[in-house]
Amino acid sequence: MLEYHEIIECIMAALDAEIPYTAGHSKRVSDMAEILCGLLDLNRSKTRMIHIAAHLHDIGKMGIDDAILNKEGKLGGQEWEMMKTHPQIGANILDKSHLLAPFNKIVLHHHERFDGKGYIYGLKGKEIPLGSRIIALCDSIDTMTSKRNYRDIQTFDFCYHEIEKI
């Protein structure tokens, strides 16, 4: 797994170049996920799996129209529906490689929510793979604490209260 971690970082750097306002997001999410895995006392193998999956969690955005990815302001209904397909696109991309296929379920479910109100499948609680739950949390924190085209940076206190609602 570690042999190709560098290649994964290069692929995700290509995504960063395509969506400049989210540059560094996958690295921040993967670093945060690795720290969280340590706090949860997960073994090294599981931690590496989740860390690498976190790098790859948004790879499916390569299949989303640039006009949607780089839109100023909030997405419309149809645009949002298209954006919600990125986990499935990502899982399909990873399925093309026997080396990357083990990450596909974690990537596929990284937008599920513990309360069942996430997407793509509306899984809830422990139906969601642990790695996906960890990435979802880290992804949410990084997204809320980063400047976006459609809103300002949120505080960690705001993040805490938003996550607590789920």
Catalytic residue list: 61
In the DSSP assignment, the letter for residue 148 is: B
Q: How far is residue 19's CA from residue 21's CA, in Å, rounded to a whole number? A: 6
If you write DSSP's letter for every residue of the chain in order, what string do you get?
A: -GGGHHHHHHHHHHHHHHSGGGTTHHHHHHHHHHHHHHHTT--HHHHHHHHHHHHHTTGGGGGS-HHHHT-SS---HHHHHHHTTHHHHHHHHHTT-TTTGGGHHHHHTTT--TTS--SSS---GGGS-HHHHHHHHHHHHHHHTS-BTTBPPPPHHHHHHHHHH-
Q: Are 33 and 76 in contact (CB under 8 A)?
A: no
